[in-house]
Structure 1
Amino acid sequence: MISEEDKKKEEKDEKLLVDLCECLLTLSISPLSNFHSICVPSLLKVALKKDEDKEAQKGVEMALLALNCIDEFDKIEKELYLNEIKEIIQYHQEHHNLTQFAYQSAWRFLIRRLKWTESLEMDIANELHLAREAARELEELTKSMDWRKKEDEKEGTERKTMNIISRWISSIGHYLNKCHLWNEEYVDLISRIVDVLRASRDNHSEIGEECIRLFNTVAKNRAVKVEDLLKSGAIDAVLEEINRPILDRIITFECKKFFQLISVCLKRKEIDEKEEAKRKAIKMELFEKLEEEGYEDIIASFHEKFSYIFADHNVFIYL
């Protein structure tokens, strides 16, 4: 039906075509590369609309939601989407015309294209400022939530907010797993993730797991320095987690994995002598922090108790 409608030169039903494209992308689980040349431009055309009435806004949100259902392994030529999606994001940054869900969906679609377009990271980091925008969005979302409520007590709007927060963390983790650029904006972004972790601590352990997994992703990235994790508060936040009286098994595993990764970072040899001296100073600061607050013994005490977890996952603790 999509192919037939697209072939019409006259009397083409644009609304029907968009509806069909949305259905195809949101319901299909198979590769759809044959339809990208039709669906992507059609949906971006809708998403580019700048009308502020509710019906138009709903159409924009649906189009962006459908676009971010495209799998990251589906290759899309950048000529089909790059200028349009950048315009959508930049227009929102200036005029705030999208809902939080629609804006996050636009970013999610773009980040998933990173696998196929090497130059895209420059656009994402330096032109569109992902780190700055994601930090601002997460700060607003975190403040709007009543974190005292348990998940099963939350209603429609709060559940949607939780979903957006979770999608942001997932998208940021996906990006940071592949990025090579790093600047001060990313330190602030990690600080906002720390805020989410602390806010979710009592009643939303799944969000906490996502946050610590993201810290692990950051620690693996060779562009990141341990000092960035100290400055952002990530190390303090993870230390707080393992010092809690009631421990979640998965979160404990992720925390210990985090310190294993930090230890690997500290063992890297720097070619530059200044960088090597800086690394040693950071290492000393971290060890002093562990010793001063008694966390070194806490980490060591977990090693035997949870050794079977790490044996299964080939994880080795260096601290």
Structure 2
Amino acid sequence: MISKMQETGVIEKFTELFNELEDCDEDNQKQKIEEMNTLTEKMDREELKSIFTLELFNEIHQMIEEKKLQLGNAILLLKHVGYWKVLINTYFLCFKKSLLNERFERMILEEEKKRNEKNEILLDDLCECCFLLKDRFSTELLSICVPCLLKAASKKDENEETQKEVEMALLALSNLRFIKIEQELFLNEIKEIIKYHQEHHNLTHLAYQYAWMFLIHRFVTNRSLEDAIVDELRFPRAATRELEALSKCVDWKKKEEVTKRVKEVQITKRWVCTIEVLFSNFLSWKDEFMELICCIVGLCRVTRENEEIQGCFRYQLLDLTQNETICIEDMVKSGYISLVLEDFLQSTLNDEIMFFSFDIYLSIFGRLNKKMDDDSKEEERLKNKIAIFEKMEEEGYEDIIISFHETLNFLNRKYGSGFSLDIADYFVNV
């Protein structure tokens, strides 16, 4: 059994309820597990990991084996824990080593072999538990679970129960991150799910996000998906609409409101991280990217008080700079260059923001100082240099950088960044 912990509150209550499970009938077990699931949603990452250890997963396995815990009730607990784990972006590295994981994988393989007699609801539940609770999968498990969950996610009924099932199936799929999956296992099905929603709006906002996360994560290992993602399904337009809606539903400048709207913060972070994957990998510029970049610039400004989201934006902005598919002129037009310059002008500039700002500007300057073979592109490069030079001169950028000169050594030591100590490298010369 779980030993009593020193912590009070949700962990202590969760422990107490778990230790009572084996003495309950099925209905009482279910009631206690529903209470435990409610408690789970009050836990942060460290609290969740302190509860769900290798020992606990093995204990659950043993209780199922000895018929002290009904399998359906165990699944009810584990699916919800997996849901919350993904929502707050943490990991259980211990689950894949557990006897419970071995049990579930064995049951999936056995259920799949039944063909016409298989219990599809049980198979869905087992696949969701595995995909939500761990991050490594065999090719065989993927070949069974991916089609199974896409089928569950393709249900078109809009009643609340079906929507929850669809959302959970897509959440489990989205947690596959950057694992390579054969295209024939998923592409037609996920495209149909997204297209149907774009026409009929049958998915919840979360389910729609999970569908995109699953597809965009496949893009990292399969660049041929770019046409489907950008041209056919219009991801930039879809992401812009979703981000604009999120920017309006929270007053990002009021810390107390942002603190209360944890769900919206997490949803925003996931959209930003999903877009970052696209910006790191796309191969050809599309006009719709401009609208999305403008939206990101606007959202980055209004969320400046939220360090969690700003951390996501820093990586995304750096990816934008380093992807040479995006021309400097579009960065100027979108307000992106001005945004980064504004960071230097903040009165409370922290080390991390300073590091990213230097890194971003060095990337921009490197591109601006690289002469182009094509005459028209060279003309555009010089025009951009003048525009950025004038903007920086107007804002007093040169004086700001000189004032930070002594900081460069510190940033190099702290981040291992290798920033040049020659201050002239940080200026645009026309």
Same fold (TM over 0.5): yes
Find the partner of 1:314 among 411, 418, 421: 418
Partner SS for 1:113? helix
Find the partner of 1:69 among 175, 178, 182: 175
Q: Is 1:229 the counterpart of 2:341 in the alignment?
A: no
> TM-score, normalization: structure 2?
0.71
Q: Structure 2 vs 1, CA of residues 297 and 60 (structure 1 numbering), >3 Å: closer, same or farther?
A: same
State the 1:164 CA deviation. Answer: 1.0
Matches within 5 A, 1:37-186: 37-72=143-178, 74-150=179-255, 154-155=259-260, 158-186=261-289
> What letter matches 1:207 in structure 2?
I
Partner SS for 2:137? coil
Paired residues, number: 315
1:151 and 1:241 map into 2 onto residues whose CA distance is 23
Match of 1:284 in 2: 386
1:304 and 1:281 map into 2 onto residues whose CA distance is 32
Find the partner of 2:347 among 245, 250, 253: 245
CA contact (8 A) 1:219 1:265 kept: no
Partner SS for 1:265? helix
Find the partner of 2:302 among 188, 193, 199: 199
Q: CA-to-partner distance for each residue in 1:56-98, whole Å, 9 max, x for gaps?
A: 10111100000011131x2211111001101111111112211
1:18 and 1:97 map into 2 onto residues whose CA distance is 21
1:17 and 1:3 map into 2 onto residues whose CA distance is 9
Find the partner of 2:293 among 159, 177, 190: 190
Q: CA-to-partner distance for each residue in 1:192-234, whole Å, 9 max, x for gaps?
A: 11112111112x0221232132111011001111111111111
Partner SS for 1:98? coil
Q: CA-to-partner distance for each residue in 1:158-184, whole Å, 9 max, x for gaps?
A: 211111110111111111111111122
> What letter matches 1:315 in structure 2?
F
> What letter matches 2:183 in structure 1?
K
CA contact (8 A) 2:272 2:316 kept: yes
Unmatched tracts of structure 1, length 5 or more: none
> What letter matches 2:353 in structure 1?
I
CA contact (8 A) 2:250 2:258 kept: no
Match of 2:321 in 1: 219
Partner SS for 2:284? coil
CA contact (8 A) 1:104 1:168 kept: yes
Partner SS for 2:411? helix
Higher RCO, 1 or 2 (CA under 8 Å, sep at least 6)?
1
CA contact (8 A) 1:209 1:254 kept: no
> What letter matches 2:216 in structure 1?
I
2:121 and 2:173 map into 1 onto residues whose CA distance is 16
Match of 1:266 in 2: 368
Q: CA-to-partner distance for each residue in 1:22-54, whole Å, 9 max, x for gaps?
A: 001111232332211110011001111111111
2:197 and 2:360 map into 1 onto residues whose CA distance is 36
Partner SS for 1:120? helix
CA contact (8 A) 1:134 1:189 kept: yes
1:91 and 1:315 map into 2 onto residues whose CA distance is 49
Quote the RMSD (CA, aligned, Å).
1.6
2:263 and 2:308 map into 1 onto residues whose CA distance is 15
> TM-score, normalization: structure 1?
0.94
> What letter matches 2:411 in structure 1?
I
Q: Structure 2 vs 1, CA of residues 282 and 218 (structure 1 numbering), >3 Å: closer, same or farther?
A: same
